[in-house]
Amino acid sequence: MNETTPQKRRAWLWLVVLTPVAALGTVALLLALGVLFKASGETLEPTREERALLLDIWHLSAWMAEYTPDLAGERMTKTRYFDDSYEIEYVYDLPDDEAAPYLTYSLTFESTEADARGTYTSIWGGTKIAFMMLGDTEVLVDERSELFQWGDFSRFGVLTTDGTPFGNVFLARRGSMVVYLLLAGVYFDERESVSELLMPYLEKLDGFSAAEPSYAGRQNTP
């Protein structure tokens, strides 16, 4: 694990914060129906069990010397869609704090495995396209999937700009579930540390599937 310098961190973080917006803009141009589908979502309060599944700043800060998380930067959301799929998401962002990292971690539980395959493809493509649309600063995804693999399909990358690493992106699909991580201000480029970051939370998904019969029963639906 490595931390980026505070002087450069904030410039990189605002680029990452824009990524979801840019990605949604791209999807809106290419897949208008997909955007309408997302707009149909109902906002709900995550359950205690769902909150426990989300990798958060308190876990990440174990790798950040002398950084104390601020509750004001945390946000958790749950959105359920008309086809009974849903997404839970954790975001940590303190735009005015140069020492603070940016973290997004989300879990999407699709109605079918086919839907999850589409979500997996769209998120990865949308993330890379979004970085390409960010103007004068070139952000590249250095794919390093040899560092970590999980589920049926997964991708792990180190985010760089001007040849300097500053964050990570991780995307995985298992059955009808999709996991997404976007991180800036600190980055991981060693197999052991990546596993220590992700596996404690990915392992929780096994128990969650067993505890949620309605979801577990949908995983292998064609």
Domains of the chain (ranges plus CATH)? 2-216 (3.40.1000)
Indicate yes or no: pTM above 0.85.
Answer: no
pLDDT of 40 reads 60
pLDDT band at 83 (very low <50, low <70, confident <90, very high): confident
Share of the chain above pLDDT 70, in %: 73
Sorting pLDDT into bands at 50, 70 and 90, what band is 96? confident
For residue 77, pLDDT beyond 60: yes
Cα-based torsion angle of the residue sequence 93, 25, 116, 189 in order, rounded to the nearest 10 degrees: -50
Residue 46: which residues within 8 A CB-CB, separation 6 or more? 54, 76, 77, 78, 88
Reported as a single tens digit per residue, the pLDDT across 182-208 is 999 999 999 999 999 999 999 999 877
Which position has the higher pLDDT, 38 or 123?
123
pLDDT band at 44 (very low <50, low <70, confident <90, very high): confident
Beta bridge partners of 164: 161
CA distance 114 to 110: 9
Which of 138, 62, 61, 140 shows the shortest CA–CA distance to 101? 61
To 10 degrees, what angle do helices 191-202 and 204-211 make? 20
The mean per-residue pLDDT over the stretch 34-38 comes to 48
Residue 155 has pLDDT above 60, yes or no: yes
Q: How far apart are CA 172 and CA 74, in angstroms?
A: 23
**Model confidence pLDDT, tens digit, residues 101-150:** 999 999 999 989 999 999 999 888 888 777 776 656 778 889 999 999 99
Q: Which residue has the higher pLDDT, 62 or 7?
A: 62
Cβ(141)–Cβ(134) below 8 Å:
no
Cα distance between residue 114 and residue 127, in whole Å: 20
Return the pLDDT at 88: 94
pLDDT of 80 above 60: yes
Phi, psi for 21 (deg, rounded to 5): -65, -45
**Over 70: is that where the pLDDT of 92 sits?**
yes
